Amino acid sequence: MEKIPINDIEKLSAILTEAKVSKSQLAKLLETSYRNVHRWLEGGIEPQAVWSKKIDEVFKETVDIVPFIDRAARTVGDPIQLLRKNENLRDRFFLEVTYHSNAIEGSRMTMKETEQALEGKNVRGKEPFEIFEAVNHRNALQSMLEEIKPGFKITEDYILKLHSIVMYNFHNKLPGKYRTGYVNLTNTEIKLPAAQLVPGRMEKLIAEMNKKPEQSIIKSAAICHYEFERIHPFFDGNGRVGRILLNTQLLSHGFPPALIRIDDQGNYYLGLGRADMGEFNSLVQMIGESVLRGFQLIQAKNKKIK
């Protein structure tokens, strides 16, 4: 798990405040002694690495991490321009997002094989459709990066274009068109809207996507992502297009992209499932951590250029 880019003393103070616990209760949460907690908080003693990791874990479990990520993410400059100008950063972003997004949808391609496909190299033992999935996804990310700008407004044409690129060469999936029939989701009991209701539901969702967020853009984008996945407007490609739309919202508001990994699949589906019951915190926290990875990717690559 990546560490939140604030120091351990700030995290300890936030746990005390947000979780409303005493120092002795905090010591129990951290599975350490009261003496250690007192030394860290009152003596300014920096925790050792093993305790720093534990503090980070408890912090994520008990505190809303979004305000902290909001603060950290805004220190990297304009992420759109950084991705456009830094070729190494852009290629790494395309590779990581493509590999993990396709893996979440069941792709058997490894990170190395995905890299070979994106470089136009021969990938031994893989079917043409597996190569298409990787290249198509990268091309959709490239299209996103070419189109978006600060304050970018998402349109139906933009969404359909992304789908047409993601589903290029998969003609039976109706690339660039809403589904015309019913589909089932295996990870939820929520009934999806009938095909004839999809255009109207999408129109309302697009309006929500383009509203000025009343709360953090991370929370707003997470809720919109959930709504998109529960409309499930296409026969296939909903997850991949939905995650590109999530990053469209984040980047156009000056935030780093969300790097949702295959390792996150369980928490990702858990978050979507809890959102079915109106509880969005799990999904927001998971997407917040994914934005943190985007922050760390951009920060690391930007430092190398400097």
User: Inter-axis angle of helices 49-62 and 23-30, to 10 degrees?
Assistant: 110
CATH number at residue 22: 1.10.260
The Cα–Cα gap between 295 and 153 comes to 23
* 110 and 35 assigned to the same domain: no
Query: For the chain, how big is the Rg over CA atoms in Å?
Result: 21
CATH number at residue 268: 1.10.3290.10
Percent of residues, the chain, with pLDDT higher than 70: 96
The pLDDT, as a whole number, for residue 306 is 40
SS (H, E, C) 166-192: HCCCCHHHCCCCCCCCCCCCCCCCCCC
- Return the half-sphere exposure (C-beta side, CA atoms, 13 A cut-off) of residue 242: 26
The Cα–Cα gap between 301 and 306 comes to 9
* 16 and 99 assigned to the same domain: no
* 84 and 194 assigned to the same domain: yes
The pLDDT, as a whole number, for residue 301 is 64
The pLDDT, as a whole number, for residue 10 is 86
For residues 235-258, average pLDDT:
96
Q: Is the pLDDT of residue 193 over 60?
A: yes
- Of residues 147 and 184, more confidence is placed in 147
Q: Find the range with the poorest average confidence among 66-70, 155-159, 242-246.
A: 66-70
The pLDDT, as a whole number, for residue 18 is 85
Q: What is the pLDDT of residues 2-61, one digit of tens each?
A: 555 568 898 899 899 988 999 999 999 999 999 999 999 998 899 999 999 899 889 888
Q: Does residue 2 form part of some domain? A: no
* 166 and 117 assigned to the same domain: yes
Q: What is the pLDDT of residues 83-139, one digit of tens each?
A: 999 999 999 999 999 999 999 999 999 999 999 999 999 999 999 999 999 999 999
Token readout for 162 is 């992304």
* 144 and 288 assigned to the same domain: yes
Q: Find the range with the poorest average confidence among 149-163, 179-193, 210-224, 262-276.
A: 179-193
* 107 and 255 assigned to the same domain: yes
Q: Does residue 3 form part of some domain? A: no
Burial string for 112-129 (b: 16+ CB within 10 Å, else e) reads ebbbbbbeeeebeebeee
* 56 and 87 assigned to the same domain: no
Q: Does residue 127 form part of some domain? A: yes
* 134 and 265 assigned to the same domain: yes
Q: Does residue 183 form part of some domain? A: yes
* 146 and 234 assigned to the same domain: yes
Number of domains in the chain: 2
* 279 and 190 assigned to the same domain: yes
Q: Does residue 161 form part of some domain? A: yes
Local confidence band at 269 (pLDDT 50, 70, 90 cut-offs): very high
- Print the domain residue range for 31: 8-63
Of the candidates 294, 259, 267, the residue with the CA atom closest to the CA atom of residue 283: 267
* 162 and 236 assigned to the same domain: yes
The Cα–Cα gap between 244 and 160 comes to 12
Q: Is the pLDDT of residue 161 over 60?
A: yes
Report the predicted TM-score, pTM, of the whole model to 2 decimal places: 0.88
* 245 and 129 assigned to the same domain: yes
